[in-house]
Structure 1
């Protein structure tokens, strides 16, 4: 068992759930890092380079993080409590003072830890423990509260109810779902309302490494994913239509390995790729146009409490 599993606790199958513990504010001002006892906010420079000092928001144990497309609220999943929490953010991306965490407990399937937000619509995508409702679409009201009555199942009878990774195309046209147990990347075509065209993937591609956490380059030229156990980072190309490029295999990023990786994120400017464990943050500079690494990765220690 890896160090991150020791700190976070094991899941039902004994190896703990994948946590999407990294998320970048849509304005590119902060890198949010989920910690066992709170959320660390790492300030980012204009080009996306991490800076110091970091700020800390205690009191929650986030397994998944996602800010809505407007950057007005931060959503956190709590699988142990089978609930979704959110906090209002101020114009800088900090939690608003005097406003606490709001709590939503869904009546349907329970979140397994991974959540992603639609970039332009008030809609969340939540991975569930129940394989009969593997991924749900959760609409958000004007005040940010999830609408339980309007929640729908996006993926029926999905595989691997635990350990999914989620990422949304920057144009909101596709949802990417990883299945590390099945060694597969799944792509869902999304309608104008953010819902899926069907109750199953539009495309499934088997890949040799077991894909875990996902992130999409903002120019939509590729998807990045980390192999869960080895922490090897991969880049797989996308076609202009948002589907995985045909006849292309995932490209391993040379020298970029983050064992027991728990989160992957890309700066909105396409300039930096971030990958984390519970104790380190690995960062590499990217070509903003192609998404290929343009420098060697650097590993930084994360502040601890």
Structure 2
């Protein structure tokens, strides 16, 4: 099939503040992995530099949580409700690894009354869309992780179609977000440790790349932190600042984006615990606290945040499984916060679970309540639907997207029905 049009970068400037010695970076290798793991019955790619997100800590298939994991308190039984009408059915987008046999961008639907998920269609022309972001309900953006580009997809009014694609100027793009003002797309390049900015057209298609800022430095882990590895970029709650989370340098960077020029200006940096490998982060609704999931440190850190200056302050770190989890790596991946700010959830890929925390002190204090089995193996990504009633978990190595009913009062998660089967799911985006 013909490739979508690609935005030219011919006249763009190269990356700023580029450090030496980045060409030999291994891209998210899993410690101790001997071979690619079968994903959903399809053999892995077999690449020598297999990423830990591509090669799970456990073999494919569901695995029970470790002994001692607390089961969540059972919420009150839900009264069975009639199926939702067609008008109430909502979209559920799933990003998968096509290089591991996934369908590409899986476009499904879910019932907001029962939580049941049904397949709709798939867009296979987007390769390895390992992270997705939406601009309203009409356009999706996907990283093409192994093609070093991002793609805009129109999803309104019928079958999804590719608008265009653009190079990120770096390697291994793994995360992206639409800037709060709506006119730019920001992308985190894991392999090269950089942040790219693309201008967005009125129809949502990608314009020219306006900036590329590369981080410098390293961390104490020789395998995972030999150089910078930007793993996430996100807006703060006011839209005034952009934060970039870098696993390789144990740093959260704060930038300001000039919407006229599309250029990033560095504002401040915050170091987390050396060797912890910060991966993803999420804000408390107050906008004054940031929760950072540490992939290498098996922990979640509560940071302070000043919305006026954009400054992040390192705070207390907590384990992501009951009892601390021992010495086994858990590779905490995604962190999400309920809209009321009362609960925080983190996915544990080694432990195959979703941790639940109660929030106190206006967002400044967390208490680990339990960790419920994720409904599959290696939950790389979790997401709450807009109502907050359902949590979806993309279990990469078992080829399942599990659905959990979420009790609003207690935050407890209860499995809802049979997990949705799709090969190599790594991102789930409910609308």
Verify same fold: TM over 0.5: yes
CA spacing shift, 1:195–1:271, aligned 2, 3 Å: same
Two-structure CA RMSD over aligned residues (Å): 3.9
Q: Which of the pair has more CA radius of gyration? A: 2
CA deviation map 1:181-231 (0-9, x unaligned): 333221111112362353xx2222245144332111111111111222131
Matched with 1:53 is 120
How far off is 1:283 after superposition? Answer: 1.5
Contact 1:213 1:264 in 2 (8 A): yes
1:106 aligned residue (203, 213, 226): 213
CA deviation map 1:143-200 (0-9, x unaligned): 69351x33431x22533364623222133221111224333221111112362353xx
Q: What is the count of residue pairs matched by the alignment?
A: 283
1:170 aligned residue (271, 285, 292): 285
Contact 2:210 2:261 in 1 (8 A): no
Alignment partner of 1:136: what SS?
Answer: strand
CA deviation map 1:87-146 (0-9, x unaligned): 67799xxxx455357474213344432333323314332221442x51112323326935
2:256 aligned residue (139, 143, 155): 139
Matched with 1:269 is 387
Alignment partner of 2:206: what SS?
Answer: coil
1:221 aligned residue (342, 356, 366): 342
Contact 1:285 1:297 in 2 (8 A): no
CA distance in 1, matches of 2:319, 2:423: 37
Gaps of 5+ in 1: 20-28
CA spacing shift, 1:88–1:41, aligned 2, 3 Å: farther
2:175 aligned residue (64, 87, 90): 64
CA spacing shift, 1:233–1:130, aligned 2, 3 Å: closer
CA distance in 1, matches of 2:348, 2:53: 14
CA distance in 1, matches of 2:195, 2:91: 21
Contact 1:88 1:99 in 2 (8 A): yes
1:239 aligns with 2:356: no
CA deviation map 1:5-46 (0-9, x unaligned): 9459676xx762599xxxxxxxxx755544346655555666
- TM-score by length of structure 1 reads 0.73
CA spacing shift, 1:70–1:33, aligned 2, 3 Å: farther
Larger relative contact order (C-alpha < 8 A, sep ≥ 6)?
Answer: 2
Alignment partner of 1:241: what SS?
Answer: helix
Matched with 1:16 is 52
Contact 1:117 1:168 in 2 (8 A): no
Contact 2:192 2:229 in 1 (8 A): no
How far off is 1:274 after superposition? Answer: 1.4
- TM-score by length of structure 2 reads 0.54
